[in-house]
Each structure stands twice: as structure tokens, then as C-alpha cells.
Amino acid sequence: MTDYTIMTYITNNYVTLLLLAALVILLIANRKMKISGLQYVWTIMGIVFTLTLCEAFEDICDLYNWDYRLLYIKTALVYWLYPLTAMLELYLVTPIKRKLLIAIPYIINFVLVFIDLFDTHIIYCFNGNHHYFGGLMPDFPIIVLCFYVIMLGVYSVIFIGNHSVSKGFIVGFMALSAIITALGEKEGFAEGYTETVAVIEILIYYFFLAAISYSETQKKLYESRIELEQDRIKLLTAQIQPHFIFNSLSTVQSLCYTDSEAAADIISVFGDYLRGNIDSLASEKPILFSTELEHIRQFIALQKAGTDVEFEVNFELGVTGFKVPPLTVQPIVENAIKHGALTRRDGTGRVTVKTEEKDNTVIVTVNDNGIGAHFTDRQREHYSVGIENARKRLEILCGGALEISFTEGGCTAVITLPKEAEN
């Protein structure tokens, strides 16, 4: 080596610098992720970068024959930083509450290394030819480093014992790779790789932390979504109940003025409806279609009692053994009668309710022969009462869909239910 340049430094530390750059990019790109322990990751990265500068500084001192006392500063930094890296890794991967107690070995090491800056020869010393000599306790920094590596191994076993297997194996890998690298440095087969291995360990553990954070975020998001959907269902149900009950009571009221006996009969029907179905009205779970069908028949009876206009409701039930969210088909039949069949003042109004299976779906079709495409904007607005509630309940509770189409011959509503919604 005739000269030491920046390119020499980059060449000697290329892999380490590349990994550090990758970590910096990852941390910046994912800075919005709330990952605990990132302060340790940043600190360890800074330490590793400083260690590469220390190695470069030693090469420069040797190359240009600088004052040997400068090597004391370089060596002190190395003996401070290597154990500190292991200690911070321990802080990063384990829930240590008494951090100061764990730091006692490092503090002792720090003090002894600092004292050696004054040529006390406790751990290290140099002569004028830049030759390194061990002091009275030359292996003390290595012992401290090994202490923290062993602690990592111990916590790895604890994690596995507590069924945190993935974390246990990752922490175990960090400890094992540190031991192998230390032995490799001593024996010469992995010389110069300590900093690189440290960055690889942190990179792997960062990915582990990011995966855990992402998983927890997704879980919280899913739980929040479920809670929000349940709140929406309760709100939608609260909107539907008064709507249906008000319409039924209006029918009874009108009969009271014209036919008291019929009014009494309808009150009985309405009472039976409430007794038998009030739980379904507030249900957040799909119910059997046969139960919803009974709701529909009772509604038809109430509707026929409340109007002088004749209409007909036909049922073509190809399948009945499936479930639907409560009050999803009934509001559609209600609209088909009120805004479809009853618009035929000549008594030819007709509504058809049809069920069938297609592929992996159950299809419920409600068709009327009303004015359909000739609806005014106001009529369409009234028609949509209950429809949007039904559509949202279908989507939320069973992944179903509702499509409405208006034609010259009336209106058609098609409910599509996935077959798994039957369970």
C-alpha cells in the first residue's frame, strides 16, 4: 500500500458499508412504522460505522508512521464499542427492566480502558514502533463481550421455552454468529468480518421486528374494521325497525276507521310478528331464509289489509336451505309491492320472488310489473328507502351483493349470496 485514499477505505469495508446503506434506506422508508427498539438499531449502526473508521485510522497511522499514542485512542474506542454493540443488541432483543444492572460489566470495562489512555498497561499498550502489547488484563474486553453474547444465548433458550420460537431462533442465531465470528477473528479464517456480521444480525432482527409490527398492525386494523362494521350493522338495524313498525301501525290505524274486525285481526298478526321476530330484527347474524320468508308473508298480509288495490305475490322457490341477513329480502319485497305492484291501479299488480342456485351462489330475485323506468327522481328516492340498508347488511354480514335494475316492464332486484354464507 503506497497511499490510503477514500477508495481504499470503501474497498476494505465495501460489504459493511453496503449493508449499512441498505439499513438506513429501510429505516427511512419505514419511518412511520411504530417499531420498538429502533433507537438501538440506529445506535448500533453508528457504532459499526465508527469501528470501520477506527480500522482505517490504524492503517493510516501505520502507513504514515504517525505518533503511536494516537493508537491508544483508536484502541480505546474499539474496546469500548465492541462490547457496547453486544450490550445494545441485548437491550434490543430482550425486555430488560434493570438495564443499569446489566451494564455494570460494560461500565467496569469502560473505566479500565479509559485508564489505559494514560499508559497504565492494565489492558493494552503500544511502543514507538506501533507494536501492540497486552497488559495485566488483556482479555477483559473480550470477557465482557462474551458475557453479553452468552446472555443473548440464554434469552434465546428462554424465548423458545416461552413458545416464542421464531424470536428464540433469531436471537440464538445472533449469539451463535457472534461466537463463530470471534473465534474466526482469533484463528484467522474470518478476520475482518466482525462489523459486517454485526450489521447482518441487526438487519435480520430488524426484518423480524418489522414483520411483527406489520402483523400486529394488521390485526388491530382487522379488529377495528370488525368493530366498525358491527356498529354500522346496529345503526342500520335501528333505522330499519322504526321504518317497518311505523308502516305496520299506519296500516292498522287506517283499518280502525273502516273495518274494526279486520283491524283486530291485523293487530293479532302484527303482535305475532313482533313476538316471533323481534330478536331477528336486532340480529347481527344471518338467519334462515325460511324465517325471512315468514316475515315476508306476514308483511304481505299487513299490506293487503291496508289497501283496496288488489295485487298478487308469487313464490318460485327453487332453494330455501340458505341464510340471509335479517330484513334484507323483506324491504325489497315491500318496495316491489308499494312502488311496483300497487302502481297498477287496475288490480293487475304482480310481484315474483324467485330463488335458485347457480355455480357457487344462491340468487334471490324480486321482480315487479310496476312503472319501473318511468319513476320520477322523487319516486326513486322513496324506493331507495331500506334498499341501501339491505345492500350494506348483505355486504357486511355475508359478502353478498344487491343489484337493482329498472325497465319498461317494472323493476328487478337481484340478491347474490355466496354459498358459504349458508353455514
pLDDT at 352: 95
Residue 122 CA to residue 137 CA, distance in Å, equals 6
pLDDT at 279: 59
Mean pLDDT of the chain, nearest integer? 82
* Domain locations in the chain as residue ranges: 6-219, 259-422
Dmax (CA) for the chain in angstroms is: 121
The contacts found for 251-260 with CB under 8 angstroms, 24 or more apart, are: 251/302, 251/303, 251/305, 251/306, 252/306, 254/306, 255/305, 255/306
Nearest to 401 by CA among 321, 335, 328, 323: 328
Strand partners, 368: 351, 411
DSSP for 149-164, written as a single string: HHHHHHHHHHHHHTT-
pLDDT at 92: 85
CATH 3.30.565.10 fits 259-422, yes or no: yes
Residues of the chain with pLDDT under 70: 1-2, 186, 213-214, 216-217, 222, 225-244, 247-248, 272-284, 306, 372-386, 420-423
pLDDT at 356: 94
